[in-house]
Structure 1
Amino acid sequence: MRRLFENLWRRPIKQQLNLIYIPVILISAILIGIFSYLFQIKQIEKNSSFLLENSVNQTAISVNEKINIPFSQMVAESDSVSVGNLFMNRYTEEDKSRKYMDILDCYNQMGSVYYSINDMIDSIYFVTNTGVEVSLYKGDTPVNIGIDFNEWFNRDIYSETGYGWIESHEDKVFSSKSPRSVISIVKKFGTKDSKNKAILIYNLKTEYFKELLDKVNISPNGYVVVMSPDGKAIVNSTIKTLNIEDNDTAKIKSDIERGSINDTKIGKEKVSIYSSSEDNLWKVIGIVPKKDLVSEANNLKVILIAFIGILSIVLLYISTLLAKGVSKPIEILSNKVKEFEFGNINVEFEIDTENELGTLSKGLERFKESVLELLRKVMQEEKQKSKLELLIMQSQIKPHFLYNTLGSIKHLIDMGRNDKASEMCAALSKFYMIGLSAGRDIIYVSEEIEHIRNYLKIQQMRYDKEFEFYINISEEIMNEKMLILTLQPIIENAIYHGIKGKEGLGTIILSGNKKEDKMIFEIYDDGLGMSEQELDNLITAINNRNDQQLKSFGLRNVNNRLKLYFGSKARMNFFSIKNEFTQVIIEIPTEAGQKGEEKYV
Structure 2
Amino acid sequence: MKQISWYRSIRFRIPAVIALVLLVPIVVFWHYSMELTRKNMLSQTSNLIYTNLYGASLLMDDVMEQVSDFSREISQDPGFLSLISQYQQADAGSDQRQKARSQLSLALSQYVGQLRTLDSIYLMFPETETVVTMLPGQKELSFSHHYAQQLYQMYYDVFESPIVWHLLPSAGGGSRMLSHIRPVSGPAQQEKCILICNLKDSAWQTALSALELYSGSVWISNYAGQVLLSYGSTLSTSQNIGQDSRFSQAFAQNRQYGTYSYQEDGTDYLISYYNAVESGWKYLSCVPEDIVLSGSGGARAFSLLALLCGALGISLGSLILYRYVVRPISALMSHLSDMEQGTLAQAPVPVQRDEISLLFHRYNQMIQRLQKLIDEIYVQQLLRKQAELSFLQSQMDEHFLYNTLNTIYSQASHEHADTSAWMILTLSRYFRISLSQGSDKLPLDQLADLLRSYLQLQQMRFGRSLVFQIQRFPEMEQFVALKYLFQPIVENSIVHGFEKRPAQHRIEITFQKEGDMLFFQVADDGIGISPQDLGPLLRQINGEGPIQGRSFALRNIHEQLCIAYGPRDIHIESRPGAGTRVFFRIPLERREPHV
What TM-score comes out, normalization by structure 2 length? 0.37
Find the structure with the greater CA-based Rg.
Answer: 2
